Amino acid sequence: MVDPPRGGLSRLVDLMAVDGRFAGDTITRPHQRLLQVRRAERFVTVAPAAIWDEEPLLLKPHFEKAVEGEAAILLLGKPRERDLAAVLQKGVHALLPAEPDADELFFALAGAFDSLETKARAESRGKWLQRYRYELGELIEIARALTTERDPDKLLPLILEKARFISGADAGSIYVVEGDDPDPARRTLRFKTSQNESIAYESREFTLPISNRSITGSAALNKQTLSIPDVYELPPGTPYGFDRSFDQRMGYRSKSMLVAPMVSAQGEIIGVLQLINRKRDPKMRFKTQDEVEEHVVAFDERAEELVRTLAAQAAIALENALLYAEINRIFAGFVTASVEAIEQRDPTTSGHSRRVATLTVALAEAVDRESTGAYSAASFSANDLREIEIASLLHDFGKIGVREEVLVKAKKLFPWQLAAIRRRLDFAAKAHEADVLARRCRLLERHAPKTDLDALDAELEKRRQELIHAWAAILGANEPTVLKSGEFRTVEGLARDTYTDLEGDIHPLLEAEEIASLSITRGSLTSSEIDEIRSHVVHTRSFLEKIPWGRSFRRVPQIAGCHHEKLNGAGYPSRLKGEEIPLQSKMMSISDIFDALTASDRPYKRAVPVDRALDILGYEVKDGALDSELVRLFVDARVWERLHEPAPETGRLLRLS
């Protein structure tokens, strides 16, 4: 091995020392056989070609830097390797004469540094493009996630999580604007959720005014993003301050902060996103305040831009979620008001619709859990259960189309009818008494014997007793019990009885409509009144079909409108059979009958015990009216016990899908 002439590299050092073109370069000798020229962060290594041939390991570290784009190699002279193109591909930038002059060296170095700069710019563009694509992909994924979540309580933590992810923040919080005043300064910010990767703690909601006194309030008031390198060292004259109480209580150190307002499409402030402590290493967890001081950096422009973009997306998503929640509240309020309107017309059935909904949803859940039997393939999603609940709550809404006097009719006669009969009997008694007194006067004028007068008194008393017994019979027949044959004959007899009015005209004691009502053999309703009551199902469906339920709840009118249908076709209004009846309606029928039987006493019936009600459901199964498998599930799951659980929060299930 022949050592290169030491004078060769030394000569180059001498040339560069006196040539002003190299004045900005840093020249070093990392090895006696190497020369290194550095400009800023990049450098070029100059070496004799003999090293390439005889001591390649000496150049290995320089080759690694060359591959990374941080260095280039110039060889003095030609290596023995014949394929010079291969030499250049291995990291050598150029081959110079063994003894280059100053110009040759200058231009070779200039070309090498230009090449490194070009490569660096290309790599920077590549990294920027890669980061841009990554960030764009993340924003698209975030947008997808935000647009698919419509529950504000779930959306807010999701927004915060994504904001922390793209910005590298250790912690953060979200505030939501409350109040309807058009002046933001008269509204408040409610602290809703927070996250912190370094410490665990429980947070509570609180409110603060929208004003320049706080960082968050200032961002909301002015609708401007605030980026603060260190909240402990705010610039003089800053209107807002930073509350250190949380840091002092938890042993944390808040440093860099980025606060972005969430503004709706209409330009209205609806929330504020607050991010704290941007980390150099996203995986870092801070255990000490010293670690925060060392590893937390300010939010740069790129992070600020990304967070602003996310805040804009989040604002739209949050506004939609809040509007969706408001629509749900309106919807739940409408359903609740509708149910109350139904029950106001018949206070004795108060709570019936809610109980039927509770029972039917519980039965649907039991069916959903079933893995064997006729309904093993049946399943109900959360949306299906909401649909069932709504249909159950509104199943009797059509009763608003039924006359109230029929709806609440407790006896066979309406109160006004009974009062009219009472007046009629009283008039008949008084009219007969007047007639008897008139005849008595005539007998006295003729000096009739006492026996004739006694006969008149007996006649008067007999008629009085007849009318007393008639009233008692009417009261007995008026009760909504099963009419016995003897009582029916009494009613028929009353139908033939008459009285005379002041004009001398003869009228029956009971009108034909009254006789028909008193002749009801079971219950308190005439056949026409039963038809009127049954018409509520038609009214229910007609009313519900006028509401644009959308795809989610499109079956509500059908489910509610079929709850009085029976498997054997004996139901109403359409006399559907078997599979023609929706499964949801079959379940509601069971719940409706059970609650009607077990509900508190009503004027026209007594409540029956659960065991007796279940027996009656069994009889309905034997008659072919109810589904035997659904009744079995109702009994096995003890669905009625759900009624004793705490009432669900208003609108818990009443949510649009």
Is residue 207 domain-resident? yes
DSSP tag of 177:
E
Q: What is the pLDDT of residue 28?
A: 87
243 contacts 254 by C-beta, under 8 angstroms: no
Considering only residues 178 and 409, tell me which one the structure prediction assigns the higher pLDDT.
178
Is residue 253 domain-resident? yes
Please identify, among 497, 520, 543, the residue that sits at the C-terminal boundary of a domain. Answer: 520
Q: Is 636 exposed, middle or buried (0-12, 13-18, 19+ CB in 10 A)?
A: exposed
- Residue-wise pLDDT tens digits, 489-542: 777 777 788 888 888 888 888 888 888 888 888 888 888 887 887 888 888 899
Task: Identify the helix (H) or strand (E) that includes residue 402.
Answer: none
> Based on the domain organization, do 359 and 437 belong to the same domain?
no
* pLDDT surpassing 80 at residue 467: yes
Distances (CA, A) of 278 to 39, 73, 172, 282: 32, 39, 10, 8
Give the C-alpha separation, 478 to 519, whole Å.
9
Give the C-alpha separation, 19 to 105, whole Å.
11
* pLDDT surpassing 60 at residue 650: no
Residue 177 gets the label, from left (phi > 0), alpha (psi -120 to 50) or beta, of beta
Residues 6+ apart with CB under 8 A from 430: none
The count of structural domains within the chain is 4
In degrees, to the nearest 5, what angle opens at C-alpha 131 toward C-alphas 127 and 133? Answer: 115
Q: What is the pLDDT of residue 422?
A: 92
Structural domain harbouring 21: 6-121
Stated length of the chain: 657
Task: Identify the helix (H) or strand (E) that includes residue 515.
Answer: helix 512-518
> Based on the domain organization, do 283 and 160 belong to the same domain?
yes
- Residue-wise pLDDT tens digits, 333-390: 888 888 888 888 777 777 899 999 999 999 999 999 998 889 999 999 999 999 999 9
Is residue 56 domain-resident? yes
> Based on the domain organization, do 361 and 505 belong to the same domain?
no
Reduced to 3 DSSP states, what percent helix, strand and coil does the chain have, rounded to the nearest 5? 55, 15, 30
Ranges 54-63, 181-190, 368-377, most confident? 368-377
> Based on the domain organization, do 315 and 353 belong to the same domain?
no
- Residue-wise pLDDT tens digits, 147-184: 777 778 888 888 888 888 888 899 999 999 988 787 87
CATH number of domain containing 169: 3.30.450.40
Is residue 133 domain-resident? no
Is residue 127 domain-resident? no
> Based on the domain organization, do 488 and 576 belong to the same domain?
no
> Based on the domain organization, do 305 and 186 belong to the same domain?
yes
SS3 342: helix
Give the C-alpha separation, 419 to 70, whole Å.
109
Is residue 386 domain-resident? yes
Identify the band that residue 258 occupies on the pLDDT scale cut at 50, 70 and 90. very high
CB atoms inside a 10 Å sphere around CB 141 = 11
DSSP codes of every residue in 38-59: EETTEEEEEEEHHHHHH-GGGG
CATH number of domain containing 614: 1.10.3210.10
Residues 6+ apart with CB under 8 A from 192: 156, 174, 175, 176, 205
Distances (CA, A) of 1 to 45, 61, 528: 21, 22, 124
> Based on the domain organization, do 535 and 395 belong to the same domain?
yes
What the block records as the tokens of 403 is 């006359």
SS3 541: helix
Is residue 330 domain-resident? no
Q: What is the pLDDT of residue 5?
A: 45
> Based on the domain organization, do 108 and 190 belong to the same domain?
no
Q: What is the pLDDT of residue 6?
A: 46
Give the C-alpha separation, 291 to 296, whole Å.
8
Q: Which residues partner with 73 through β-bridges?
A: 45, 92
Residues 6+ apart with CB under 8 A from 124: none
Distances (CA, A) of 617 to 207, 620, 623, 628, 629: 55, 5, 10, 9, 12
Is residue 333 domain-resident? no
What the block records as the tokens of 509 is 């004691």
Q: What is the largest CA-CA distance in the chain?
A: 179
> Based on the domain organization, do 395 and 429 belong to the same domain?
no
Q: What is the pLDDT of residue 223?
A: 92
> Based on the domain organization, do 203 and 69 belong to the same domain?
no
> Based on the domain organization, do 89 and 160 belong to the same domain?
no
* pLDDT surpassing 70 at residue 485: no
Please identify, among 495, 520, 545, the residue that sits at the C-terminal boundary of a domain. Answer: 520
Omega before 573 cis (within 30°)? yes
Please identify, among 461, 494, 520, the residue that sits at the C-terminal boundary of a domain. Answer: 520
> Based on the domain organization, do 114 and 222 belong to the same domain?
no
Low-confidence winner among 159-163, 190-194, 531-535, 561-565 (lowest mean pLDDT) = 531-535
